[in-house]
Structure 1
Amino acid sequence: MSQDSTTVPEAARKLSGRRRREIVAVLLFSGGPIFESSIPLSVFGIDRQDAGVPRYRLLVCAGEDAPLRTTGGLELTAPYGLEALARAGTVVVPAWRSITSPPPAEALEALRRAHEEGARIVGLCTGAFVLAAAGLLDSRPATTHWMYAPTLAKRYPSVHVDPRELYVDDGDVLTSAGTAAGIDLCLHIVRTDHGAEAAGALARRLVVPARRSGGQERYLDRSLPEEIGADPLAEVVAWALEHLHEQFDVETLAARAYMSRRTFDRRFRSLTGSAPLQWLITQRVLQAQRLLETSDYSVDEVAGRCGFRSPVALRGHFRRQLGSSPAAYRAAYRARRPQNGAAERSERLEIIEQRQAEPAGIVAIRRSAAAGGPGGPAGHEQGKPESDAYVPRLSEQGGGRIPGRPSVPGQRDRPVG
């Protein structure tokens, strides 16, 4: 799974004589997103031996004859074709253009042949669909972008899809979640091949964490997969989402669906890509995450409002899915997002400091304006206290700053964020 494996017997299979372990082939298709495509090219295609990263030899291969057009209308030219896969010890499929269309038969056959000859096969993000179409994920654990996991599970029911993981290492076949998780998997490959020091050096060069804790759970939303919309289970899933504050289990959901527990588990997994118990726990954790961000409920109260039987259960599942305790998560969230009241107090203090630093002439102008004198705003009541918001408005009159006033950022001048 996403943790590094110390025993991967499948990966130790002997390569055929013409393949070399240090050769990495990246298989590109037209219509693939450029970000995912660029990840293995950057990790395995740049010589960073000066930073202590062992060198790989990269072969960029076209998976089809058509021009390779990518995001933004860019057109790529791959220096190699499918025949070059015969030399690679690792073959990476960084993405597939459409989860609804089948990959080219020639590319699938080349992947199967590479796997039979001992090559390590890697699918990043939607590249998992190509590996599944080639039959390389049958009866194996795999992951993909959480948004596409239900589709992968439904289309290839023999694949054990786990939408929680950032990447899955099953020895000679590896898959990753969406976009940036491809970096995590590529670093894992370097770590497996050359050790933690080499992977750490590469991570520093890429300015990314050497390891990320947790999985995809923190990015999941509570929306239903498109495929479930017309299914009888849709009503049961919608009911569960509306009643997360109540204590119920998978048996309750199976009864509402008029199914046995075993049948319900099988149908649910085929539609959502997840076991119903894990899905239910994930939804409860997501609800707890929202309450910790938006309310002042204690952790004990949050546990009760999310259907957990005890605060201890909430803490255990929360830490496993998000890598933090509920209390630590709330503190970190509020540190990143100060409350509105604190922001307003900070702004008032800034305005006061600005006024204290103003020259005497500016103070006299404002007093005159506040009293309704020359230059004062029309209809301003004489003697009415000026508002805190008046300082930036005064500085904006005439389309510029008041001559002689120090250049202090006003409310509208201050950059957001």
Structure 2
Amino acid sequence: MAHRIAVVVLDHFAPLDLGVPGQVFVSARDADGERLYEVVTCSEGRMPVRCSAGYAVQPDHDLDVLDTAGTVLVPGIHGGRALVKGTISERLSAALRAGRNGRTRTMSICTGAFVLAAAGLLDGRRATTHWLEAARFGALFPQVKLDPDVLYVDDGDLLTSAGVAAGMDLCLHVIRRDHGSEVANRAARRCVMPPWREGGQAQYVDRPLPDGDGDGTAATRAWMLANLDTPLDLNALATHARMSVRTFTRRFREESGVSPAKWLNRQRVQHARHLLETTDLGVEEVARRAGFGTAVSLRQHLHAAVGVAPLAYRRTFRRT
């Protein structure tokens, strides 16, 4: 019998997130071509739900279908109580909590994690969500061990992912966990998508740089960015800022949230990524221009930051 996955749809749902489980899980077949999963959709009161793209869908089931499901999945949302206030209806909360002992797992894609957290399912557990909503999530649900830098988190019976494509990665991960790599790879081929990305790989986030104005360390940060390819030690940075090392370190952390060394390393990784995406420079030259010195050092830092080697990163993100 096919494993039933019940997708809970709320108003303001993200359209692609809703389509992901139906596409990926239904693509999982056994050696005889039989489907291994059944995907059904439901809403509270079986009411039509509207999405952020300006149309509504009519789920086939009420929330009572969750009692028959081995997996419950909540797609992302772009508005509503869960995202704004961190609350959901009592009936939805009870339905998500009911049957947890007998259910194989509960999942979310992107900001669907807000719904699971609002039901209390993520208290004390590791989880992730889209990086753009990480600060809001942390403020609403401080009891959740949020990791906003990964593609997905498998915490046993609770699985959460970042946005859109990471939801596809999570679904493939579940297929692989249930039925092995061969079945998951066949499903990936049907969906014309890469067969595997490790969950611990970083979300690819554009991090805005701090304002360059002011009397703090902003001018020195701008100077650091202009000199990424040169050695920059703490004494040189403090001298440029006309501060003592102790004062500079304290002010820098207050303004950026991290130490000077960590901030500098992030900018060098970001610059290396930009060079890999936009140029044909060799890895050694990219390493030199980004301030890592050697290709070995670049590989170590890039892998630590985003989970892939330089050439693998270039193959994935090279702009044509």
Q: Normalising by the residue count of structure 2, what TM-score does the alignment of the two structures yield?
A: 0.75
Q: What does residue 184 of structure 2 align with?
A: 199
In structure 2, distance between residues paired with 1:165 and 1:178: 11
Q: What does residue 90 of structure 1 align with?
A: 71
Q: Aligned with 1:73: secondary structure?
A: coil
In structure 1, distance between residues paired with 2:119 and 2:217: 34
> 2:268 matched to 1:287?
no
Structure 2: segments with no counterpart, 5+ residues: 238-245
In structure 2, distance between residues paired with 1:63 and 1:276: 50
> 2:14 matched to 1:68?
no
Match of 2:22 among 28, 41, 44: 41
Q: What does residue 58 of structure 2 align with?
A: 77
Q: Displacement, 1:283?
A: 3.8
> 2:129 matched to 1:144?
yes
> 2:142 matched to 1:157?
yes
In structure 1, distance between residues paired with 2:52 and 2:180: 34
Residue-by-residue CA offset, 1:284-310 (whole Å, 9 max, x unaligned):
311222244567887667556645586
Structure 1: segments with no counterpart, 5+ residues: 1-19, 230-234, 270-274, 338-417
Match of 2:109 among 92, 101, 124: 124
* Closer/same/farther in 2, CA of residues 80 and 286 from structure 1, 3 Å limit: same
Is the 2:175–2:183 Cα contact (8 Å) retained in structure 1?
yes
Q: Aligned with 1:72: secondary structure?
A: coil
Q: Normalising by the residue count of structure 1, what TM-score does the alignment of the two structures yield?
A: 0.59
Is the 2:28–2:183 Cα contact (8 Å) retained in structure 1?
no
Larger Rg: 1
Residue-by-residue CA offset, 1:170-227 (whole Å, 9 max, x unaligned):
1010011111111111111111111111111111111112103586646211226xxx
Match of 1:319 among 303, 307, 317: 303
Aligned amino acid, residue 169 of structure 1: D
Q: What does residue 243 of structure 2 align with?
A: none
Q: What does residue 350 of structure 1 align with?
A: none
* Closer/same/farther in 2, CA of residues 81 and 276 from structure 1, 3 Å limit: farther
Is the 2:11–2:49 Cα contact (8 Å) retained in structure 1?
yes
Q: Displacement, 1:116?
A: 4.3
Q: What does residue 251 of structure 2 align with?
A: 256
Aligned positions of 1:141-290 closer than 5 A: 141-212=126-197, 217=202, 219-223=204-208, 243-244=224-225, 245=228, 246-247=232-233, 255-256=250-251, 268=257, 281-290=265-274
Q: Aligned with 1:212: secondary structure?
A: coil
Q: What does residue 59 of structure 1 align with?
A: 40
Is the 1:218–1:321 Cα contact (8 Å) retained in structure 2?
no
Q: Displacement, 1:62?
A: 0.4
Q: Displacement, 1:169?
A: 0.4
Match of 1:111 among 71, 85, 96: 96
Q: Displacement, 1:34?
A: 1.2
In structure 1, distance between residues paired with 2:138 and 2:165: 22
Is the 1:36–1:94 Cα contact (8 Å) retained in structure 2?
yes
Q: Aligned with 2:130: secondary structure?
A: coil
Aligned amino acid, residue 73 of structure 1: G
In structure 1, distance between residues paired with 2:314 and 2:77: 40
Is the 2:88–2:118 Cα contact (8 Å) retained in structure 1?
yes
Report the count of equivalent residues. 297
Residue-by-residue CA offset, 1:138-185 (whole Å, 9 max, x unaligned):
222222222222322233223222233211101010011111111111
Is the 1:121–1:173 Cα contact (8 Å) retained in structure 2?
yes
Residue-by-residue CA offset, 1:112-151 (whole Å, 9 max, x unaligned):
2233444411010111111122222222222222222232
Is the 2:7–2:75 Cα contact (8 Å) retained in structure 1?
yes
Q: What does residue 383 of structure 1 align with?
A: none
* Closer/same/farther in 2, CA of residues 53 and 187 from structure 1, 3 Å limit: farther
Is the 1:144–1:177 Cα contact (8 Å) retained in structure 2?
yes
In structure 2, distance between residues paired with 1:333 and 1:47: 25
Aligned amino acid, residue 189 of structure 2: R
* Closer/same/farther in 2, CA of residues 188 and 63 from structure 1, 3 Å limit: farther
In structure 1, distance between residues paired with 2:42 and 2:268: 44
